[in-house]
Amino acid sequence: MRAPILLSALMVLAACSETAELTDEEAMAYEDEEFAGETYDEFDERRDELEGEAGSYAGYGCTVDCSGHEAGYDWAAENGITDPNSCGGNSWSFIEGCRAYAEENGGY
C-alpha cells in the first residue's frame, strides 16, 4: 500500500525538479530594489547555492521552507491578482509566489 504512494510522491517531485526564476526582463524591473536586505540577484544566487535542497513551490526554488512562496501565492489568490506586475511584498519569495499565481491565472 505504501509503495504506490511513495512512487506517486517521487514522480511528483521529479516533475517539479525544474525550478523557475524571474526572466532577465522581469528581474530588470526590480534591478535596484532590495527586499529582506538583498537584491534579486543576491537572492537568486543564495537559492542556487542550495541546489534544490530546500524544495520548490509553483516552480520556484525555495531557500528555507517555501512558506514565503506559499504566502505570496495564497495572497494573490485571495486578492484576485492576475497580472504578475501587480505583485509586491517584503521578500523575493513572496513576490515569486504571487507572480506564480498570477501567471497561472492571468493567461500569461
d(CA 30, CA 41): 10
pLDDT tens figures, 9-58 = 333 333 344 456 777 777 666 777 899 999 999 999 999 999 999 999 99
- Reference 31, options 42, 45, 20, 21; nearest CA is 42
d(CA 24, CA 33): 15
* Residue 107, pLDDT score: 72
Residues 62, 51 contacting (CB under 8 angstroms):
no
Return the residue matching grid coordinates 495572497: 75
Residues in the chain: 108
Share of the chain above pLDDT 90, in %: 68
Torsions phi, psi for 92 (to 5 deg): -65, -35
